[in-house]
Homo-oligomer: A and B are copies of this chain.
Amino acid sequence: MSADAEPAPVSVKPPVTLREVAAAAGVSVATASKALNGQGRMTAETRERIRETARLLGFRPNHLAQSLLRKRSFTVGLLTNDTYGRFSLPLMAGVSDALVDNGVSVFLCNVEDDTRLGQLHVEAMLDKRVDGIIATGKRIDRHLPVDLSNLRVPVVYAFTQPDPGAVGLVSDDAGGARLAVEHFCRLGRRRIAHVSGPASFAVVHARAEAYRDVLKEQGLPVAEPLLGAWSEAWGHEAVAKLFEGRGERPDAVFCGNDQIARGVIDALRERGIRVPEDVGVIGFDNWEIVAEATRPPLTSVDMNLSTLGREAGLALLSLVGGQPAAPGIRKLPCRLVVRQSCGRPPGG
């Protein structure tokens, strides 16, 4: 061996192909393909020998070639505009969870609120021949900044405003609000207030309406919901409004999100009002990192976003498979996660 022999380049050897497997097993590629896919007819012995050869060689079929032929790439695109989103992340987890078992991978595309960027991403995904697209966002009542209505692939909308005639999945905000308010009622609270976000959000109205409905059903006094911002600061302010007037003071506050609830609880404590003894508080979103840091830990409505994502993934899958899906918006139930901020039943 000469001294100046070239050092072996670090190049890894190329993946083994079906052709090599076939050669090693002494059959044609056609037979090899059929053996590995359980197709065609051959002796069990032949089939097993080919399979063993493939295993030994570490053969992995090239999905690019398969996709080209099958016209199905086993990839989907997930479009979102919720950059730092605590909404889209659990949702993505659910989507991914539903799809990975079917061998489907997910392209994640954050389009911000930028139409050009959205266009760019959609075209890139289409060029890569995704089987379908899931659109999601940071709020239910807004469209993504990109038109998905006439694509060559099926589209499912989850937690964002769907196009008319499309398949959409959202959380049942009214149902979630019912859960919270009815829980207060069961605990014997009688003067239940509602502090929520800006009136420009559709969910604010959906939840407020459910709030009113439950109170009416129960024959309890309905106070006008206080609408403001999705912030702790607004929670503070709202407490000032609720507890400084001369009217009867609430013994429970149902908040539009967890940050408001956090602000409410802090403000109540600063006023010497005990939570949950004097006033119960329930939040919305069940953002664990907030709910658990609150003192006391916050009872909150969970939108089951991960389930929502999973359902969206399954819906897209069946659409891709050619099953027609009923268009329209499907609402998925929320659940109440009880911690300590709402109190226990009188006798509990």
Residue ranges of A at the interface with B (Cβ–Cβ < 8 Å): 12, 14-15, 60-65, 67-68, 71, 73-75, 78, 83-86, 89-90, 92-93, 96, 100, 103, 105-110, 117, 120-121, 123-129, 152, 231-233, 259, 262, 266, 288-289, 293
A152 to B14, CA, bound (A): 8
Contacts A/B (CB < 8 Å), 25 sampled = A14-B71, A15-B152, A60-B126, A60-B127, A61-B127, A62-B68, A64-B64, A64-B73, A64-B128, A75-B128, A78-B108, A84-B86, A84-B90, A85-B89, A96-B110, A100-B117, A100-B121, A100-B124, A105-B124, A106-B107, A107-B107, A231-B293, A233-B293, A259-B289, A266-B266
Contact status A93-B89, CB under 8 Å: no
Q: Is the CB of A89 within 8 A of B89?
A: yes
Measured in the bound complex, the distance between the Cα atoms of B108 and A109 in whole Å is 9
Contact B75 A83 (CB under 8 A): no
Partner of A63, one of B15, B83, B129, B289: B129
Residue pair A92, B108 in contact (C-beta under 8 Å): yes
Q: Find out whether the CB atom of B100 lies under 8 angstroms from the CB atom of A93.
A: no
A109 vs B95: C-alpha distance when bound (angstroms): 11
A233 CA / B129 CA spacing, docked (Å): 49
Point out the residue from B68, B83, B125, B262 that lies within 8 Å of A105, measured CB to CB: B125
Q: How far is the CA of A288 from the CA of B106 in the complex (A)?
A: 28
Chain B residues near A62 (CB, 8 Å)? 68, 127, 129
Which A-B residue pairs are the 10 nearest by beta carbons? A108-B108, A64-B68, A232-B293, A12-B152, A63-B127, A105-B107, A63-B128, A64-B67, A64-B129, A105-B124
Alpha-carbon gap, A71 to B15, bound state (A): 11
Which residues of chain B are near A68, meaning CB under 8 Å? 62, 64-65, 68
| Smallest Cβ-Cβ distance to A69: which chain B residue | B64
Q: Which residues of B contact A110 (CB under 8 A)?
A: 92-93, 96
Are A103's CB and B86's CB within 8 A? Answer: no
- Chain B, Cβ-Cβ closest to A74: B128
Q: Which single residue of chain B is at the shortest CB-CB distance from A89?
A: B84
Please give, as numbers and ranges, the residues of chain B lying within 8 Å of A293 by CB-CB distance. Answer: 231-233, 259, 262
User: How distant is the Cα of A117 from the Cα of B223 in the complex, in angstroms?
Assistant: 50
**Bound Cα distance A125, B74 (Å):** 11
Q: Which chain B residues border A12 with CB–CB below 8 Å?
A: 152
